[in-house]
């Protein structure tokens, strides 16, 4: 399968992978990691244990061992990792049908996508569009009108002032690092941004600055710009949002498919 975003390695780019159904031993390791709350590690273990071959930009095919596969998976963007994890779940389950219950934002009615004896309303993974990144890896830049400033308490001396930031696309390894720190889910994005920050105001970011002012600066970036950056992080990959119609109030709304539930149900297979 073609990767939404190539895996950029020092020796070149991996553009495609061939998958296999993971062994019971791999699934056991995945479950053990998931039980401890290490969901990103669980995803890495699952994908690494499901890669049969990798193909690079020159068309050369390799068959990585488990250790090498984990390194490759760690360098994948999170969106690419989700793309592969869902495909592996499809292999395990034998189909790509996804059930879900979605709350209408207008009247709070629950719209169900499920299979009954009369009709199958589940979504099919094969129907979801995948957007692919074609060009070389480049930083994601955001600029803000009013610089984010950190001031010294008392005399309000400006210690840091930044109006332009450049980030790399977050990898699965970045999320694993953040998750290992015990960061609350609602603050995860701030830490991922700091982990992937490359430049501030046109200069490479320094470790000292990241330690002293980095997190505070990330937290003070305007909300609109945060949403813009988050959308850029998710630009490539499998589209996991669908339009639902509420029969109770008649409104249409967009919802994210129950990808996590589909993934978890595959791991519960006997």
pLDDT tens figures, 74-89: 999 999 999 999 999 8
pLDDT digit string (tens) for 235-269?
A: 999 888 889 999 999 999 999 888 777 877 777 75
Does the pLDDT value for residue 172 go beyond 80?
yes
* Confidence class for position 25, pLDDT limits 50, 70, 90: very high
Structure confidence by residue, pLDDT tens digits, 45-55: 999 999 999 99
Per-residue pLDDT band at 206 (split at 50, 70, 90): very high
Are 3 and 17 a contacting pair, CB within 8 Å? yes
Of 242, 240, 238, 262, the closest CA to residue 111 belongs to: 242
Does 194 score more than 90 pLDDT?
A: yes
pLDDT of residue 213 exceeding 60: yes
pTM, two decimal places? 0.86
The C-alpha atoms of residue 150 and residue 108 are separated, in whole angstroms, by: 42
Please report the pLDDT score of residue 126 as a whole number: 87
E strands in the chain: 2-9, 12-19, 51-56, 61-62, 97-98, 100-103, 110-113, 123-124, 130-131, 140-151, 158-167, 197-200, 203-204, 237-238, 241-245, 252-256
| Average pLDDT of the chain to the nearest whole number | 91
pLDDT bin (cut points 50, 70, 90) of residue 38 is confident
Confidence (pLDDT) at 84: 95
pLDDT at 269 (0 to 100): 53
Number of H helices, E strands in the chain: 10, 16
- 94-98, 120-124, 202-206 — most confident range: 202-206
Domains of the chain by residue range: 2-133+254-267, 140-233
What's the sign of the alpha-carbon dihedral 43, 21, 256, 32? negative
What confidence score (pLDDT) does residue 193 get? 95
17, pLDDT greater than 90: yes
Percent of the chain whose predicted confidence (pLDDT) is above 70: 99
Q: What is the pLDDT of residue 138?
A: 76
pLDDT category at 177 given cuts 50, 70, 90 is: very high
* Confidence (pLDDT) at 134: 76
């Amino acid at each position: 399968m073609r990767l939404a975003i190539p895996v950029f390695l020092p020796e070149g780019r991996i553009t495609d992978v061939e998958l296999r159904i993971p062994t019971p031993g791999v699934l056991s390791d995945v479950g053990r990691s998931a039980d401890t709350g290490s969901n990103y590690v669980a995803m890495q273990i699952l994908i690494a244990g499901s890669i049969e071959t990798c193909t690079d930009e020159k068309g050369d095919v390799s068959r990585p061992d488990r250790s090498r596969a984990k390194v490759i998976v760690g360098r994948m963007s999170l969106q690419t990792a989700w793309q592969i994890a869902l495909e592996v779940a499809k292999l395990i389950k034998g189909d790509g049908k996804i059930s879900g219950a979605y709350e209408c934002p207008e009247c709070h009615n629950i719209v169900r996508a499920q299979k009954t004896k009369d009709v199958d309303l589940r979504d099919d993974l094969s129907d979801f569009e995948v957007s692919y990144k074609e060009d070389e890896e480049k930083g994601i830049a955001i600029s803000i009108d009013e610089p984010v400033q950190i001031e010294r308490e008392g005399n309000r001396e400006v210690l840091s002032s930044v109006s332009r930031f450049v980030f790399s696309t977050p990898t699965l390894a970045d999320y694993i690092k953040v998750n290992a720190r015990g960061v609350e889910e609602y603050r995860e994005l701030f830490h991922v941004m700091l982990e992937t920050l490359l430049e501030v105001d046109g200069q490479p970011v320094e470790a000292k600055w990241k330690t002293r002012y980095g997190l505070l600066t990330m937290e003070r970036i305007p909300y609109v710009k945060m949403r813009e950056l988050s959308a850029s992080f998710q630009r490539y990959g499998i589209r996991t949002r669908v339009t639902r119609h509420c029969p109770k109030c008649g409104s249409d709304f967009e919802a994210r498919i129950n990808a996590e539930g589909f993934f978890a149900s595959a791991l519960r297979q006997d």
